[in-house]
Structure 1
Amino acid sequence: MTVSFKSLLLKDNYVFIQNIYKGELQERRALFFIDISDPSSPRHVFPKKPNVIIAFFEIFFGLIFLIIQTLVVKLWKPIVITLGVILGAIILLLIIVGIVIYRKKKKRKKKEENSSSA
């Protein structure tokens, strides 16, 4: 893994390293900090709370693309295209269901807020 460093800051025995991940600057906070007196550092500091749903879909789509790539190498193109269309339809259906569930939860939460304030 290659890490590009944007800046270094030395403060109170800690070296804060601000890096660039996937070509984009990750906020303005230090992502890694190194305690000069502690050999077990560096420790990673996450810039924000990870989103479980996004992480799930990232892993899910990665797995699907890996399966499709494997099928392209080992099987004939017509079979792969058919499976790709089927998987694409399933993914699209999952996304639509996720959006509908999210909107229903949002409406329910809004109703609860309105009823509690009234």
Structure 2
Amino acid sequence: MTRNVPAGLAASLLLAALLGGCASVPPPTAELDAADRAIRSADALEPRGPAQQALDEARQRLAAARDAASRKRHAEALVAAREAEAAAAVAAAEARRATLEAEVDSKAARNAELRRRLLVQGD
């Protein structure tokens, strides 16, 4: 059984823990780079619909992360960068799901057409 914790709440709790625990959080350079790579990878899948919405969210979160990093709010930037990477992963997964679903639909239509032809030829 999984629990549905709103992403915003989880991020807020993580941010609070990071901000409260250490003032010397290093710049999240690796996380920003990872989020950027994940976004480019998801974008290469040509997402549409829900996948495009997730990719747009990833881009917004990455922009927020870069903004926070530029203001030396490294803990906030770290959280936003990780959220951006996660949203990009969702976008990629959704894009792959849509591609596979389209392939299944195409093959099902092809099979139905072949069945129809076989029935017509069998008469």
* TM-score category of the 2 structures, normalised to the smaller one: 0.3 to 0.5
Higher-strand-fraction structure: 1
Higher-helix-fraction structure: 2
Instruction: Please say which structure displays the higher CA radius of gyration.
Output: 1
Structure possessing the higher relative contact order (Cα contacts under 8 Å, 6 or more residues apart): 2
